[in-house]
Chains A and B, each alone.
Chain A
């Protein structure tokens, strides 16, 4: 019993290490795009990825053929979506002018190549909304608006103001 448990633990550790060695770089890049941080200074992306990887490690023995990469990406997206609205906006990243939702759609659809329907299901949005967000995000990345008040930043303002007012 104890021996079998130890063997299982050793196998899990070995497989997990191989998985992290292969996938962490790409996942960390995706997380950094999501948080809008600079690639060389991404503390939030690291925290997000560590949490997502820990959840994958904890469910490693019950994956039953499911792709651990998909599992970790889903955990990453859920963690980011849950905490994004009460975080201050990061600066310096490629997508730092986009709203958190636009970043999610862009990273899932274009960087990760997830289908529109799956992206919609993962984010809990209608497919048309995902399409619209994607088109707006693509336009914002290709033609960054000049001036202090970019259009993409406007939806971000009320939640931030609310969050500050609610926590004196």
Chain B
């Protein structure tokens, strides 16, 4: 055992002294309450995201059905007249 390891072992003993701390009884309840809140918020956010996506897809579909961007626009210029 090297000098360094001996020193580390001594510190480890100091750190371990006192053993596990006594846990206050409401710690578990508080953690569950806050954790459930986090889960709920996450669910709400996820749902809102899906709803937003759905609304965007619907809006695009309605616009596309109306505007038909894939059809060629009607020509606005008259072809030049050659040969009388």
Chain A residues near B (Cβ < 8 Å): 13, 16-17, 20-21, 24-26, 28-29, 32-33, 39, 42, 45-46, 49-51, 53-58, 60, 94, 106-107, 110-111, 135, 137-139, 141-142
Chain B residues near A (Cβ < 8 Å): 4, 7-8, 10-12, 14-24, 27-28, 30-39, 42
Q: How many pairs of A and B residues are in contact by the CB < 8 Å rule?
A: 94
Per DSSP, are chain B's interface residues mostly helix, strand or loop, or mixed? helix
How far is B20's CA from A13's CA once the two chains are assembled, in angstroms? 23
How far is B35's CA from A17's CA once the two chains are assembled, in angstroms? 13
Which 8 pairs, one residue from A and one from B, show the smallest C-beta to C-beta distance?
A57-B35, A25-B20, A53-B31, A54-B34, A58-B38, A54-B35, A28-B21, A111-B15
Select B18's contact among A17, A39, A53, beta carbons within 8 Å.
A39
Instruction: Report which residue of A58, A60, A107 has the largest number of chain B beta carbons within 10 angstroms of its beta carbon.
Output: A58
Shortest C-beta distance, B8 to chain A (Å), equals: 6
